[in-house]
Amino acid sequence: MKRNSDKPIKLTEVCLRDGSHVMKHQFTAEQVWKVAKALDEAGMHYIEVSHGDGLGGSTLQYGRSLVDEMKLIETAVEACKLSTVAVLLIPGIGTVHELKKARDLGAGLVRVATHVTEADISAQHIHLARELGMEAFGFLMMAHSAPVDKLVEQARLMESYGAQAVYVTDSAGALLPHEVRERISALRQSLDIEIGFHAHNNLSVAVANTLVAIEEGATRIDGSVRCLGAGAGNTQTEVLLAVLDRLGLDVGIDLYKMQDLAEEIVAPMLPRPQEISKGSLVMGHAGVYSSFLLHAERAAARFGLDSRNILVEIGKRKAVGGQEDMILDVAAELAKTKQEV
């Protein structure tokens, strides 16, 4: 495989953060310990642990966690000998208080996530993370929803704040390979820092998109074991590792141990198989934030609607992460219209 970068590829496993959505934020400390320990033993570079909506996300709006996320972070840190524990922070949900506490517990990386047009709200948190001695990356969500020049502009802002990498984050699983190529290439030509890519598999192109990102120079890559992530999950980590091995790219992670983790530890935890259902498919097709799926299904059951109609309408309104409360409003409006008809 020809790559437009000579830097090593570093993987972040997101099943203990993005997968929190699938688990309805009900991870136990024992589950986090088992997964983190197995990931560490396999050689995973980074393991992201926090509420699905990042630090401070355990609320009625986003979903209450069964176990306080700080306890889960502490548990993961204790389970790891080599892997770095990472956290996600969305300004407005998480605060500097949670960031400091996560650092005190041993988290070494924070990814500061904003909507693709709102990088300016990340400055405080990126600055603080660097002051605390943490690695700090920018995470531009819903990257499909802005023109490439806007993406570049916002990534440059994060770079100016001190971010050591910026991610193209396909939160809806809506990007197609040529669109990923265009975005990663543009960032590579415009930034002096590393570029990352975070995919969702709602259109069944997560692995393909990730390979394109790597070809174009992305060196920070996300995956979720057994696709344990919002919607249809992320790039399936063990599958990606097998493909990279076929391509002659050794990233230093044990493929067999990752397969065993997926089969023996993660699979039994899943509330249902991670596959491309009609709900996750419509999210990728309509460009809807992947964590909205369970919220839309609950609203559909409450109002007697098809969850797909709710998701399509949410897509038309260009809702972003943090606007989960809009889902109930949309469902109520659709139910009212249905009754009038």
Annotated binding site: 17-18, 171, 198, 200, 289
Contact 244, 219 (CB under 8 A): no
Contact 276, 202 (CB under 8 A): yes
pTM above 0.85, yes or no: yes
- What CA–CA distance (Å, rounded) separates 51 from 73? 10
Dihedral sign (CA 171, 102, 61, 225): positive
pLDDT for residue 296: 87
Q: Does domain 10-269 sit in CATH 3.20.20.70? A: yes
Could you tell me which of 165, 91, 75, 85 has the C-alpha nearest to residue 128?
91
pLDDT for residue 321: 67
For the packed helices 177-190 and 148-161, what is the interaxial angle rounded to 10 degrees?
A: 40
Instruction: CATH 1.10.8.60 in the chain: give the residue spans.
Output: 291-340
pLDDT for residue 336: 82
Taking the chain (341 residues) in consecutive chunks of 10 residues, what is each chunk's mean pLDDT?
A: 93 98 96 98 98 94 93 98 98 96 98 97 98 98 96 98 98 97 98 98 98 98 97 97 97 98 97 90 86 85 90 82 80 83 59
82, with CB counted inside 10 A (0-12, 13-18, 19+), is: exposed
pLDDT for residue 316: 84
pLDDT for residue 298: 87
What pairs with residue 10 in β-bridges? 220
pLDDT for residue 341: 59
For 101-119, letters b (16+ CB in 10 Å) and e give bbbebebbbbbbbbbbbbb
pLDDT for residue 137: 98
Q: What CATH fold (topology level) applies to the domain 291-340? A: Helicase, Ruva Protein; domain 3 (1.10.8)
Annotated binding site for Mn(2+): 18, 198, 200
- What CA–CA distance (Å, rounded) separates 68 from 28? 9
Please give the positions annotated as active site: 21
Q: Kind and range of the H or E element at 241? A: helix 237-246
Instruction: CATH 3.20.20.70 in the chain: give the residue spans.
Output: 10-269
pLDDT for residue 202: 96
